[in-house]
Amino acid sequence: MNSKFNYFLKNAKELYETFNIVPLLYGSLGLEVLTNTDLNSDDIDILIPEIYIEGKEWKNFKNYLEENGYILIDADEHTFIKDGIFYSYASIENLKEFAGIDITDINKYNSDNIYYLLLSLEQYLKVYKKSSQDGYRMNKKEKKDNEKINFIVKCLNNSV
């Protein structure tokens, strides 16, 4: 299994044991895990309850990570680095408005008694289609997003 996934699992265990958070593995790494395909993810995108990144718990969350070796490198994007791996946190609640995904419809997984959430292929398709319309992503990541959309469609067609 992807070594970044192992780093995610360690982080997920810390988040659950410290904050009772079951995180959503998002972005390319989540799609890699779901499809068991190497997509060359360059970071770990994690969605957590908004209160920990925009609310009153942000300071406690940030302090905990920093006390455990994570270095905050971008406060606006809530991005940390540890052991050469980038971790970016965002609000799970934004999925509803952004891509029409109800967080209660997201599947929960268990790996070595570590729980995490992972989008389905259909949900990933919604996310990447919506992301491909974003101005920043259109300029910086359009090719990668389109490749992922095509990959997801191919996976969906093969599973029928």
Strand partners, 48: 91
Q: Which residues contact 28 (CB under 8 A, 6 or more apart)?
A: 39, 40, 41, 42, 45, 148
pLDDT band at 138 (very low <50, low <70, confident <90, very high): very low
Closest CA to 27 of 3, 4, 58: 4
Tell me how far apart the alpha carbons of residues 7 and 24 are, in angstroms, rounded to a whole number.
14
In the chain, the domains with their CATH numbers are 3-120 (3.30.460.40)
User: Is the pLDDT assigned to residue 137 strictly greater than 60?
Assistant: no
pLDDT in tens, 42-100: 899 999 999 999 878 999 999 999 999 999 999 999 999 999 999 999 999 999 999 99
Token pair listed for 86: 């980038």
- Cβ atoms 141, 148 nearer than 8 A: no
pLDDT in tens, 111-131: 999 999 999 999 999 999 998
Tell me how far apart the alpha carbons of residues 128 and 27 are, in angstroms, rounded to a whole number.
9
Tell me how far apart the alpha carbons of residues 157 and 128 are, in angstroms, rounded to a whole number.
17
Q: What's the pTM?
A: 0.91
3-state SS assignment for residue 49: coil
pLDDT value of residue 141: 56
Tell me how far apart the alpha carbons of residues 18 and 64 are, in angstroms, rounded to a whole number.
9
